[in-house]
């Protein structure tokens, strides 16, 4: 932990934030490395880390068919992963009180380029994924981005 503190000057503020969020007593500043100034508000770095912690603890992987039909789910993250079946796009969707990880069908996954994934993850583009049901003829999933 000390090696990480030496590498990143704001690590102590992040650890203070995490201790406070967990309801634990905060460590003293006497053991902290010298910082370049006092930080009184939560920084963007800390909020991003807090969101990532929530995504890890409140996230569940689900099938597309378990999504509500015609309900828009905001996409929080999108990443290209390699599975035993080949490359796939794994999206993290925000549900009312949890996060859902869903693999997109291959025909939709091939449409995402690296720049598209980067813009979704950097929040320059905000997209909602909507499950519209299945095609009765082919049993394929029908999805919509808006």
Mean pLDDT value across residues 85-97: 91
CA atoms within 13 A on the CB side of 61: 3
User: CA of 67: how far to CAs of 78, 88, 112, 126, in Å?
Assistant: 17, 19, 21, 19
Q: CA-CA distance, 45 to 76, in Å (whole number)?
A: 16
Backbone angles phi and psi of 107, in degrees to 5: -65, -30
pLDDT at 57: 66
- Mean pLDDT over all residues of the chain? 75
Which residues lie below 8 Å from residue 68, measured CB to CB, with a gap of 6+? 131
Residue 66 DSSP label: G
pLDDT at 66: 93
Does residue 50 contact residue 17 with C-beta atoms inside 8 Å? yes
The answer to whether residue 104 scores a pLDDT higher than 90 is yes
- How do residues 32-41 score in pLDDT, each as one tens digit? 444 444 444 4
The answer to whether residue 84 scores a pLDDT higher than 60 is yes
The answer to whether residue 30 scores a pLDDT higher than 70 is no
Mean pLDDT value across residues 89-95: 92
- How do residues 1-24 score in pLDDT, each as one tens digit? 334 444 444 444 444 444 444 555
Do β-strands 86-94 and 72-83 pair in parallel, antiparallel, or remain unpaired?
Answer: antiparallel
Does residue 73 contact residue 100 with C-beta atoms inside 8 Å? yes
pTM equals 0.61
């Amino acid at each position: 932990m000390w090696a990480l503190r030496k590498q990143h000057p704001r690590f102590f503020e992040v650890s203070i934030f995490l201790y406070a969020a967990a309801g634990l007593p905060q460590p003293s500043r006497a053991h902290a490395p010298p910082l370049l100034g006092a930080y009184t508000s939560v920084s963007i770095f800390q909020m991003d880390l807090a969101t990532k912690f929530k995504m890890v603890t409140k996230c569940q992987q689900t099938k597309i068919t378990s999504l509500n039909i015609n309900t828009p789910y905001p996409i929080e993250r999108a990443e290209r992963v390699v599975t035993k079946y080949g490359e796939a796009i794994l999206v993290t969707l925000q549900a009312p009180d949890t996060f859902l990880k869903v693999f997109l069908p291959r025909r939709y996954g091939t449409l995402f380029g690296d720049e598209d994934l980067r813009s979704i993850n950097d929040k320059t583009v905000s997209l909602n994924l909507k499950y519209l049901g299945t095609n009765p003829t082919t049993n394929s999933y029908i999805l919509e981005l808006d």
